[in-house]
Structure 1
């Protein structure tokens, strides 16, 4: 195993993730709280048990012992009064004392159950009571009423001694019950103090545990996440060279490491992007310079070609007029070829100039009523339309921000093509429509002419591309290429509708306002004449 692999695999507590720390912390906290809860429950139970024993057993047993003593006093008083007077009324407290003695003795037996010393004291009291009742109380109570009992006089000394033993037994019992009550009260007080200390300790432990959990979360989660957030914000604000600190549990360190790797890749991509941007800027500057030179060359070349081309055309036409029929047929044919070539060359130069001016010379954008532009176009083509019998219908067209000259060239080329490429002997029918599609307007120019085969749907928009020879249809093959350039200059697209088969349907889109013009735009005065001079 390499050193890097060893470093990449942390051991011990450093390998614990946030979830593992949380699980262990929660388990330990629950175990500690459970132990504290059990201790608290035991202390509460012990306190309640001692309190119940003190109130329900010790104190009640002592009170019952006092009531037993009172019952015995009632018996002794009643028996002694009956023995001295023979009055049966004195037997009432005696009999009531016997009933109370029986109830109190049974209550003490129940209360002292499980207390051998207390039961022994109770038996001693019962033995003393039984001795006194057998020797004194019952015999005297059984004597006839009405006269004093001789037995009371005879056994007066013995009765006093027996009842003193009863009192002594009761006093001993009460002293031990009082001592038991004092010990129980001391145990209860001690247990209550222990309970208070235990609950104070539980409260302190809970506070300490809460502080420990808070500090652990701060150090293990919030501080690392806060530092990670600071580093990420710094990187997002442009400090791409700032490293991401890896702190906290293993998963947070791993997350920080992955973010740092992403930052490093971002730095690399930015370096590549910056280099590409510099290269692109250089190429753009070179392309702008090249385009400027090509535009200047096109204007200069076309302007300089006008003069020699006019001379060639003029003199070939003069030769044709002056020597027509004087030379042989070959000479007349050659002269015709020269005149036709010069005229077509001049048409191509003028068309090329018009094509190069799109987006460069005419860019005076303003609100244009396309319906009026179409009417002007139809007016300019009125002779051709009348000769061919063409029927042109046009929907209501919108007003858009565009260059009016280019819009005129666009409609003239589209409607002109629809008229020119008609079927032989057929009066063409042309329809112009417009429909709004979101931020754009879609226009269509539909005719019932010869149509365009699907395989040529894109080729027809390439400059100087012709689908027919000049003998069949005249023209330079630049019309649809110019339409495409005008539409794209105004932020739209143009295409042949492949689903329409009864002729040709050209569809194009225009925005309500064209995109802003970027780059240098030459004007006609700087680059050359706006229009070529007419051929003589």
Structure 2
């Protein structure tokens, strides 16, 4: 076969998959083992046939031939004794010999019924016996008992030659049976030797097939898989630029190609991710700078704006006290508007400053007894609670790891809202409940106030979002937004129960311990205070 003929054949074999190699290997092994099994079966059958012929035919036939000779010798002995003495007792072995003769001849005929040569030998024996019995045995046995008969003695003299023919036929038969048995034994021995060689060859071939299958699996499957696993481990260890070389059958090469394609996509995604990370780092740095500037602005603005507001409020009130008698009612009203606006602006600035501080400063997480915190909050709100005639109750509350100041702001806003947004002519009733649920503490603040429509359940937690005008209910619109920020900073969530209709029910969760305490602000408050003081 030329090299050009071998190349297409090599390409065809290279296209075989692991399953096809296994099918061909198993089919070939089964065919070879089947052929060997068939040969072994033939040899075993031949061995069994020869053994059965030897044990069931040749040996029994030879032994029966010997017994037939004994029966005929007994007949000849009995006839000879009767002819010489005339004593009737000598006829007993003769008659027994006749019966044994019939039985042995019948047995030999059954044993060699399929062997014409041995049947011919048996027929020769029967003919010789028949001639002897007809000429000698029957006439002598028919003579009367008593004195010896001269005729019987004469016949006995001739009978020796006739019985010699019987002996010769018997010896010929026995010699043939001996020769048959010797040949059967020789055939059995040679067949057993062949059987041993055949089964030895089968055993060797099975071992060779097992070795070939093992080596084929090692080279065709195990080695490529180990190679693929080693290269995959290199990639998993961080060497993403290491290419995967396809080896083995077609399906394993396809698998290697798919993993190589996945590696290339991974390298591309990692490059894209690294680029995105660099962009995010740059944006995070920009955001950190921006937050620091915003924090600085918020704190400085709170100081810089509150000072002129205090001046406006103070001098406006001085103006009213000194010149109030010289101004009309409309001027007094304008002055009241100016003072009220300055005061509300100051409250708004303080609320904004507190809102910006949540999660940024005062992150002094420590063990906080919420029972004590709520009692302190009720004490701080004692005036509006007393004015409204509110009834505040609460279940036993847990102890958490949290920021104490933020917990105070949380409960002040929630309880303050429940007292403030009451129904006209009805005393507020507020109840605080707490229960452990899925590793968190779930709190509910339930009141009998004006309630919150379900469509505004998300809107009320947005800063500056209000459901009522300032004339109806006072406030800056920052309270619930600050509550949401505090709760989320402590690893929880806050929401409105839309199914509660007898007022408002606010539900929120808090973690027993904070999930992560944010780092300090980019600009410490002491520095901001110093900068604000420098500006003033």
Counterpart in the other structure of 1:524: 525
Shift of 1:291: 0.3
1:75–1:98 CA contact under 8 A, matched in 2: yes
For the structure 1 residues 125 and 286, does the alpha-carbon distance in structure 2 shift closer, same or farther, using more than 3 Å as the test? same
For the structure 1 residues 70 and 312, does the alpha-carbon distance in structure 2 shift closer, same or farther, using more than 3 Å as the test? same
Counterpart in the other structure of 2:507: 507
Shift of 1:169: 1.9
SS at match of 2:326: coil
Shift of 1:290: 0.8
Q: Please state if 1:94 is matched with 2:104.
A: no
Structure 1 segments unaligned to the other structure (5+ residues): 1-9
CA distance in 1, matches of 2:425, 2:160: 164
SS at match of 2:508: strand
For the structure 1 residues 283 and 58, does the alpha-carbon distance in structure 2 shift closer, same or farther, using more than 3 Å as the test? same
1:135–1:159 CA contact under 8 A, matched in 2: yes
For the structure 1 residues 460 and 154, does the alpha-carbon distance in structure 2 shift closer, same or farther, using more than 3 Å as the test? closer
Shift of 1:294: 0.8
For the structure 1 residues 127 and 363, does the alpha-carbon distance in structure 2 shift closer, same or farther, using more than 3 Å as the test? same
Superimposed CA distance per residue, residues 145-173 of structure 1 (whole angstroms, 9 cap, x where no aligned partner):
22222224434553222222222222222
CA distance in 2, matches of 1:49, 1:235: 68
For the structure 1 residues 189 and 321, does the alpha-carbon distance in structure 2 shift closer, same or farther, using more than 3 Å as the test? same
Counterpart in the other structure of 1:144: 144
CA distance in 2, matches of 1:121, 1:471: 145
2:140–2:155 CA contact under 8 A, matched in 1: no
SS at match of 2:54: helix
1:390–1:427 CA contact under 8 A, matched in 2: yes
Shift of 1:193: 1.1
Shift of 1:91: 2.0
Counterpart in the other structure of 2:6: none
For the structure 1 residues 426 and 121, does the alpha-carbon distance in structure 2 shift closer, same or farther, using more than 3 Å as the test? closer
For the structure 1 residues 187 and 379, does the alpha-carbon distance in structure 2 shift closer, same or farther, using more than 3 Å as the test? same
CA distance in 2, matches of 1:503, 1:88: 144
Counterpart in the other structure of 2:190: 190
Structure 1 residues 180-329: aligned runs within 5 Å: 180-327=180-327
SS at match of 1:446: strand
Counterpart in the other structure of 1:342: 342
Structure 1 residues 113-192: aligned runs within 5 Å: 113-192=113-192
CA distance in 2, matches of 1:59, 1:445: 113
Shift of 1:331: 4.5
CA distance in 2, matches of 1:173, 1:515: 112
For the structure 1 residues 315 and 177, does the alpha-carbon distance in structure 2 shift closer, same or farther, using more than 3 Å as the test? same
2:487–2:494 CA contact under 8 A, matched in 1: yes
Superimposed CA distance per residue, residues 442-485 of structure 1 (whole angstroms, 9 cap, x where no aligned partner):
22222222333333332322223333333333222222222222
Paired residues in the alignment total 523
Superimposed CA distance per residue, residues 240-292 of structure 1 (whole angstroms, 9 cap, x where no aligned partner):
33333433333333333323322322222222222222211221121111101
Counterpart in the other structure of 1:384: 384
Structure 2 segments unaligned to the other structure (5+ residues): 1-9
Superimposed CA distance per residue, residues 285-342 of structure 1 (whole angstroms, 9 cap, x where no aligned partner):
2111110111012112222233333333322222222222424555545444433333
SS at match of 1:430: strand
> How much is the aligned-residue C-alpha RMSD, in angstroms?
2.5
For the structure 1 residues 117 and 445, does the alpha-carbon distance in structure 2 shift closer, same or farther, using more than 3 Å as the test? closer
Counterpart in the other structure of 1:355: 355
2:360–2:518 CA contact under 8 A, matched in 1: no
SS at match of 1:434: strand
Counterpart in the other structure of 2:4: none
For the structure 1 residues 134 and 287, does the alpha-carbon distance in structure 2 shift closer, same or farther, using more than 3 Å as the test? same
Q: Which moved more, 1:394-403 or 1:512-521?
A: 512-521
2:83–2:156 CA contact under 8 A, matched in 1: no
Q: Which moved more, 1:364-373 or 1:454-463?
A: 454-463
CA distance in 2, matches of 1:264, 1:183: 79
Q: Which moved more, 1:201-210 or 1:241-250?
A: 241-250
For the structure 1 residues 278 and 138, does the alpha-carbon distance in structure 2 shift closer, same or farther, using more than 3 Å as the test? same
Structure 1 residues 435-450: aligned runs within 5 Å: 435-450=435-450
